[in-house]
Structure 1
Amino acid sequence: MKATKRLIDSVWTLEYEIVNENCIKILHYDNQDAEGYQKEKQLPRCELEETKDRTVTVVWIKPYVPFEYTMVKDHNARKYEVINPQFVFSYIKEKS
């Protein structure tokens, strides 16, 4: 599954797997995913919560809402614990 986060002129795409109703496994997170740019308005929004050392521990996911430019953690947003917490840029795909 995928979700996106827009940062100025780039779209960061989170690829993840739902493990159970409260946990996800992050597969990839980067700003080079063509599908994230193409389907930004179809994919859910995401927000990653990090510790002080930039380890991702929680991800919020919410359906895309037109003209909502920041993630609003309301009743439509789901909070997931990350089962594979790592430094935020450790999830970037290796270029082949």
Structure 2
Amino acid sequence: MGYCKFCDICFIAFCFFVFILYVNPQAFSKPAHEQAIAEYNRIERVKEQQRQENINFSNCVSKTYFKSARTSDNHLMTEAHRFSFQNGECNEVVEVYYR
């Protein structure tokens, strides 16, 4: 090794690349490259589906609201309109509470 640190680093990187190519030349073949691209695209599709499901879940849960009113005998009646996201659908559940 010489006095130039940059040249030393480039030489080590080149030797490492040649060693990897010597040990596993199939990793740099066209079918392996196409397979890696297909796997990457599959993973990205799964991530996008998960992102969309998270967005749908957030939109569904954010619809939850409450209504309160007094009854004729001065009790508090509260309606809770709760939304839950199950099996890809936003379902509404209404619960009524009296105090």
Identify which of structures 1 and 2 has the higher relative contact order when contacts are C-alpha pairs closer than 8 Å and 6+ apart.
1
Structure showing the higher strand proportion among its residues: 1
Shared fold by TM > 0.5?
no
Higher helix share: 2
TM-score (norm. length: structure 2): 0.23
Higher radius of gyration, 1 or 2: 2
